[in-house]
Amino acid sequence: MDLFKKCSDDSLAKQAKAAGIYPYFHALESKQDIVVEMEGKREIMIGSNNYLGLTGHPEVIKAAVDATNEFGTGCSGSRFLNGTTMGHLKLEKELAEFLHKEDCIIMSTGFQTNLGIISAIVGRHDVVLCDKENHASIYDAIRLSYGDMVRYNHNDMEDLEKKLQAVPENRGILIVTDGVFSMSGDICNLPKIVELKKKYGARLMVDDAHALGILGENGRGTGEHFGLEDEVDIIFGTFSKSLASLGGLCACSHEVAEYIRHNSRPFIFSASITPGCVAAASKSLEIIKREPERRKNLHHISNYMREALRKRGIKFRDSEVPIIAIYTYEPEITLQVCKRLFEEGVYVNPVLPPATPVGECLIRTSYTATHTEELMDEAADKILAVLKELKVME
Per-residue confidence (pLDDT) for residue 356, from 0 to 100: 82
Out of 88, 225, 241, 283, which one is annotated catalytic? 241
Cα distances from 337 to residues 160, 341, 379, in angstroms, run 36, 6, 13
DSSP-based three-state secondary structure for 251: strand
51 inside domain: no
Instruction: With beta carbons less than 8 A apart as the criterion, state whether 234 and 250 touch.
Output: yes
Query: Domain check: are 283 and 307 in the same one?
Result: no
| Torsion over CA: 229, 232, 234, 239 (sign) | negative
| Backbone φ, ψ for residue 255 (5° rounding) | -60, -45
Q: How many residues in the chain?
A: 394
218 inside domain: yes
- 241 catalytic per annotation: yes
2 inside domain: no
Question: Nearest 5 degrees, angle CA 197-CA 144-CA 263?
Answer: 80
Q: Give the residue numbers spanning the domain of 365.
A: 10-45+292-389
Per-residue confidence (pLDDT) for residue 353, from 0 to 100: 86
Contacts of 272 (CB under 8 A, 6+ apart): 75, 77, 78, 79, 83, 84, 88, 108
Structural Rg of the chain based on CA atoms? 21
- Dihedral of the CA atoms 21, 27, 28, 32 (nearest 10)? 70
DSSP state of 352: -
Q: Helix 275-290 vs helix 86-98: angle between axes, to the nearest 10 degrees?
A: 30
Instruction: With beta carbons less than 8 A apart as the criterion, state whether 275 and 68 touch.
Output: yes
Out of 88, 101, 135, 210, which one is annotated catalytic? 210
Per-residue confidence (pLDDT) for residue 354, from 0 to 100: 82
Query: Domain check: are 343 and 235 in the same one?
Result: no
Query: Domain check: are 229 and 372 in the same one?
Result: no
- 125 catalytic per annotation: no
Per-residue confidence (pLDDT) for residue 200, from 0 to 100: 97
Query: Domain check: are 235 and 356 in the same one?
Result: no
Question: Nearest 5 degrees, angle CA 114-CA 137-CA 200?
Answer: 65
- 282 catalytic per annotation: no
**What's the CATH code of the domain at 362?**
3.90.1150.10
Question: Nearest 5 degrees, angle CA 199-CA 205-CA 209?
Answer: 145
Distance CA 289, CA 25 (A): 34
**Among 261, 290, 319, residue at a domain's last position:** 290
Out of 108, 137, 145, 182, which one is annotated catalytic? 182
DSSP state of 187: B
366 inside domain: yes
297 inside domain: yes
Closest residue by Cα to residue 323 from 303, 343, 307: 303
Per-residue confidence (pLDDT) for residue 214, from 0 to 100: 97
Query: Domain check: are 241 and 165 in the same one?
Result: yes
Instruction: With beta carbons less than 8 A apart as the criterion, state whether 254 and 247 touch.
Output: no
Query: Domain check: are 282 and 346 in the same one?
Result: no
Sheet strands (E) in the chain: 35-38, 41-45, 103-107, 127-131, 148-152, 173-178, 203-207, 234-238, 248-252, 316-317, 323-329, 346-347, 349-351, 361-366
Per-residue confidence (pLDDT) for residue 340, from 0 to 100: 97
Per residue of the chain (394 residues), give pLDDT as tens.
899 999 999 888 899 999 999 999 999 999 999 999 999 999 999 999 999 999 999 999 999 999 999 999 999 999 999 999 999 999 999 999 999 999 999 999 999 999 999 999 999 999 999 999 999 999 999 999 999 999 999 999 999 999 999 999 999 999 999 999 999 999 999 999 999 999 999 999 999 999 999 999 999 999 999 999 999 999 999 999 999 999 999 999 999 999 999 999 999 999 999 999 999 999 999 999 999 999 999 999 999 999 999 999 999 999 999 999 999 999 999 999 999 999 999 999 999 988 788 888 999 999 999 999 999 999 999 999 999 999 998 7
Cα distances from 167 to residues 164, 202, 306, in angstroms, run 5, 10, 41
Question: Nearest 5 degrees, angle CA 45-CA 30-CA 47?
Answer: 20
Query: Domain check: are 228 and 85 in the same one?
Result: yes
